[in-house]
Amino acid sequence: MSIEDSAMRDKVLEGEFTERVKLVSKIDSEKPMLYSFIVSKLSADSEDELKRHRDYSTFNTSKDPLQLWLALEQLHLVTTVSKNAAFVLRQAEKDFMNCTQGEYESITKFK
């Protein structure tokens, strides 16, 4: 490899690095807007439930859309890998028993 090829490669890499830095800074500047967009699409019940999430204060102050999305996924994702009806019923009963009325939550909202 000649010196000219090396210099040319360095210029190309420098240009790519500059473009990447611009893209990353644009993404960082748009994070709060994406966070606000996601929150605007939540129902009142989902928003109330989200506010009770253990990491809510952390990702709400930083306006981190990835942490918000992961919290929403954790709150709303219902998965069961079992096809066994008895197991599914037992899991549903367990989930029902853990269902409690939230603090300052009216009975109508709870129902």
Residue range 7-26, pLDDT digits in tens: 888 899 999 999 999 999 99
Q: Is 10 a member of any domain?
A: yes
- Tell me which residue range forms the domain holding 13: 3-78
CB neighbour list of residue 91: distance below 8 Å, 6 or more residues apart: 80, 82
Over residues 52-72, the mean pLDDT reads 89
- Model pLDDT, residue 111: 64
Q: Is residue 110 part of a domain?
A: no
pLDDT at 1 over 80: no
Structural domains counted in the chain: 1
Query: What are the DSSP calls for 28-63, one per residue?
Result: HHHHHHHHHHHHHTS-HHHHHHHHTSTTHHHHHHHT
Residue 88 in domain: no
- The answer to whether position 84 is within a domain reads no
Alpha-carbon distance of 108 to 31, in angstroms, equals 35
Residues near 77 by beta carbon (within 8 Å), at least 6 away in sequence: none
Instruction: List, for residues 84-104, the tens digit of each pLDDT value.
Output: 777 778 888 888 887 877 777
